[in-house]
Structure 1
Amino acid sequence: MRTRTPPFSTLRLFDAAGRHLSFAKAAAELNVTPSAVSHGIVGLERALGVKLFLREPGRLSLTREGADYLTYVSEALSLILVGTRRLPTPHSGRTIAVSCAPTVASRWLLPRLHAFRAKHPRIAINLDTSHRPVGFPVDGFDFAIRMSRIPAAPTNWSPLFGEWLVPVCSPSYRETVASAGGFDPARATTLHVTSLSEDWQAWLDATGAADVPSLGTMRFDTIQLSLEAAAAGLGIALGRRSLMDRELRDGTLVEVGQAVPAATTYWLVSSDLVEQEQDLRSFRDWVLTEASAIVSDQATRMSPVARSVGGRGCPTPAEAATTS
């Protein structure tokens, strides 16, 4: 019967290798050599008397026992991280960990963070822009900003703001594809975002337009890249007004079609620790206040035409929270 916990160092090696399914990537994360990772895993397997990985040419995978063990090890390490972060230090404040999609982080959250930092200079912010799912508290995050039609859980989801979907391109590109209806699909290249559930088809359905028989398509994995491609004159992107106000103001991008409300809403997802810590409550309240300004601006800018699209206007966060 096993009574001794394996060395912490080998558990870190196993956690990294199990997440990446690569000794080389685990080595890069931990700043050691792949050989050190491999030898550490072998030692761990010998100590446990269980094979954790299947090693095949060009492929590393977890055994059933390894996958089960990884769940416990990863959760234990995450809880240690959470507990360590919560310890007070004499010269610094709380570190708040936030998970947020790249485009929302760079175009909405990041430009506003200086205001929060000015009010709370002792609170540090760790911002993660990977698309991976977040589990509270085991992943070490305090907040996540997510796009969804409805909350994925009954508690700790606060609505932020919705979006307007509108075709945009560079001023020079508009001159080559302009038509009475906004743009001529037969002469345009449409720019698609593969990671979104609402893209061109959602806009076509809302406007009642026929399918876009475009000259061609380009596909990207982030909204950011699609907007940069549109600004560079590569085609027409389906922009989000809440994320491209800067480009619309300075004329880098221009609207070339009808704006329609998206069915999805951005939400602030919070850990259960928020009510226990003033720093977390301060960040949550600040984010909600910043988002309320977006909602007010959207309501002010809604045109009569946009209000009538599909018989619905852009939902407020409160409305979005009760509809799907």
Structure 2
Amino acid sequence: MPLRLPPLPALRFFEAAGRHQSFKLAAAELNVTPSAISHGIVGLEQALGVELFVREPRGISLTTTGADYLSYVAEAFSLIAIGTQRLPNHRADRPIALSCAPTFASRWLLQRLAGFRERWAKVSVSVDTSHRQVGFPVDGFDFAIRLSRSPVAGAAWTRLFGERFVPVCSPVYLESLRDGHGNIRLEHATLIHVNAASEDWQAWLDATGANGIEATGGLSVDTIQLAFEAAAMGLGVALGRRPLVDSDLASGALVEASSDTIDSAGAYWLVSAENADRRPELCDFKRWLIGEAGQFDAPVDANGPGSRTASS
């Protein structure tokens, strides 16, 4: 007797919406309208006779039944994806698919990809910088680069490098902060904050013990890239994240506003799909990326993340 399955398109809608906890984000991922996602899930709920989501004015959330069902549906799609990828000669020439944050891509990755292309000219690379959670292997990505304090259990995580924080601003703005004796008065600066950053000015202030600097107020932006651009325009002092800010420091667009740097509690990690060791080009890319990153991963101070170090 054949298995009775719900409509597969509706299951795909449900898996994406459940993973994102959003009809809108699921629609963007699947290139359909939010209305299509909503109607598809309503049809699925009617077919199953259960309620999968709680609809509220501020968004959606999975019901207990929905959360339980999602674990089975996600696993089923993962098994299909793994089985498809393991077929003989399946899309052997497809690009290496990598997901990472836009600031990381523009300020660190892209400028190094030319080196990879010189050695592996026939290997294509696809870089996705959309702000969405990547599901391995359902979404078809081979790798993801994520900023995290520690690896997540159940996935293949390889540390690339940690960040180091140092205040930065434009040369002209730095001169405006000097007192009559030539000392930099950061307490008079406008601090530029990154709303989405898990670590920002408070982490630097706590670690350095800087006094008289108000951690709140100032200018807030939603990306690290915008913070660096605002600082270069003379709008205030941003918390530079090395090595992402290194190119601006090297060009002179930004200068250090303090000699105190601290190690971030987080690090950039390369997350690999389960089958990443089955294609030679993926193994080559992973080794190359780890090699490029190795020169930036300074030894962690004995006092742990957040300890003060000399400026590099």
> TM-score w.r.t. structure 2 length?
0.78
Show CA shifts across 1:289-321 (max 9, x none): 2113335xx79xxxxxxxxx9675699xxxxxx
| Corresponding residue number in structure 2 for 1:160 | 160
| Corresponding residue number in structure 1 for 2:203 | 202
Q: Aligned partners of 1:188, 1:6: CA distance in 2, in Å?
A: 60
| Corresponding residue number in structure 1 for 2:113 | 113
- Change over 3 Å in CA distance of 1:132–1:24 after alignment to 2: closer
CA drift at 1:225? 1.6
Report whether the alignment pairs 1:97 with 2:111.
no
CA drift at 1:176? 1.5
Match among 291, 294, 297 for residue 293 of structure 2 = 291
Q: Aligned partners of 2:91, 2:74: CA distance in 1, in Å?
A: 30
- Change over 3 Å in CA distance of 1:86–1:229 after alignment to 2: farther
CA drift at 1:256? 1.6
CA drift at 1:239? 0.4
Q: CA RMSD in A?
A: 3.7
| Corresponding residue number in structure 1 for 2:238 | 237
Q: Aligned partners of 1:97, 1:235: CA distance in 2, in Å?
A: 37
Show CA shifts across 1:147-202 (max 9, x none): 34554449843332333321111122122112467531342101122333432233
| Corresponding residue number in structure 2 for 1:52 | 52
| Corresponding residue number in structure 2 for 1:271 | 273
Q: Which moved more, 1:81-90 or 1:156-165?
A: 81-90
- Change over 3 Å in CA distance of 1:43–1:16 after alignment to 2: same
CA drift at 1:25? 5.5
- Change over 3 Å in CA distance of 1:157–1:314 after alignment to 2: farther
| Corresponding residue number in structure 1 for 2:221 | 220
| Corresponding residue number in structure 2 for 1:322 | none
Identity %: 55
- Change over 3 Å in CA distance of 1:211–1:273 after alignment to 2: farther
Q: Aligned partners of 1:36, 1:66: CA distance in 2, in Å?
A: 19
Give structure 1 stretches of 5+ with no counterpart. Answer: 300-308, 316-324
| Corresponding residue number in structure 1 for 2:40 | 40
Give the conservation status (yes or no) of the 8 Å contact 1:182–1:256: no
Which SS does the other structure have where 2:294 is aligned? helix
CA drift at 1:4? 0.5
Show CA shifts across 1:78-136 (max 9, x none): 44345445556698624333232332222111221122233334433333335655554
Bigger share in helix: 1
Give the conservation status (yes or no) of the 8 Å contact 1:189–1:214: no
Q: Aligned partners of 1:132, 1:33: CA distance in 2, in Å?
A: 17
Q: Aligned partners of 2:260, 2:170: CA distance in 1, in Å?
A: 17
Show CA shifts across 1:248-304 (max 9, x none): 122211112114241433332333433333122101110012113335xx79xxxxx
| Corresponding residue number in structure 1 for 2:66 | 66
Corresponding pairs, count: 304
Q: Aligned partners of 2:271, 2:217: CA distance in 1, in Å?
A: 38
Q: Aligned partners of 1:165, 1:134: CA distance in 2, in Å?
A: 27
- Partner amino acid for 2:75? E
Q: Aligned partners of 1:133, 1:25: CA distance in 2, in Å?
A: 10
Q: Aligned partners of 2:127, 2:46: CA distance in 1, in Å?
A: 38
Give the conservation status (yes or no) of the 8 Å contact 1:164–1:259: no
Give structure 2 stretches of 5+ with no counterpart. Answer: 300-305
- Change over 3 Å in CA distance of 1:219–1:85 after alignment to 2: farther
CA drift at 1:21? 5.2
Q: Aligned partners of 1:87, 1:213: CA distance in 2, in Å?
A: 59
